[in-house]
């Protein structure tokens, strides 16, 4: 949908990482329509930071290129398998 998105403040743009496993342990093939969306993604853009009450800007803890884990219903869909979410919606960075 959008080619480039520049997130503002404490927002982050994440591209979902598709899970490759499409078969259960018993050998049943899971069709694409039945698969859940991945909750893991790669950060492709970050905002400048969160504005604190005293007016200072706190830098984000995630950076472009980090692989992150986020909540199932977090963020806003931005098309092409991308999400825009706030930094506090990110559960953790996968090392």
Does a structural domain hold residue 1?
no
Does a structural domain hold residue 2?
no
For residue range 26-54, list pLDDT tens digits in order: 777 766 555 566 689 999 999 999 989 99
| Mean pLDDT in residue range 70-89 | 89
Does this model's pTM top 0.85? no
Range of the domain at 57: 11-18+34-94
Does a structural domain hold residue 73?
yes
Does a structural domain hold residue 64?
yes
DSSP assignment string, 60-95: PS--TT-EEEE-TT-SEE-STTEEEEEGGGEEEEE-
| Mean pLDDT in residue range 21-27 | 65
Count the domains in the chain: 1
Does a structural domain hold residue 4?
no
Does a structural domain hold residue 23?
no
CATH number for the domain harbouring residue 58:
2.30.33.40
């Amino acid at each position: 949908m959008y080619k480039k998105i520049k997130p503002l403040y404490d927002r982050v743009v994440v591209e979902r990482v598709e899970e490759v496993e499409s078969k259960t342990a018993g050998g049943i093939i899971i069709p694409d329509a039945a698969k859940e969306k991945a909750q893991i993604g790669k950060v492709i853009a970050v905002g400048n930071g969160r504005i604190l009450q005293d007016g200072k800007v706190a830098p984000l803890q995630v950076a472009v290129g980090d692989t992150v884990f986020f909540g199932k219903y977090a963020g806003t869909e931005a098309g092409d398998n991308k999400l825009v979410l706030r930094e506090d919606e990110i559960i953790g960075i996968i090392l």
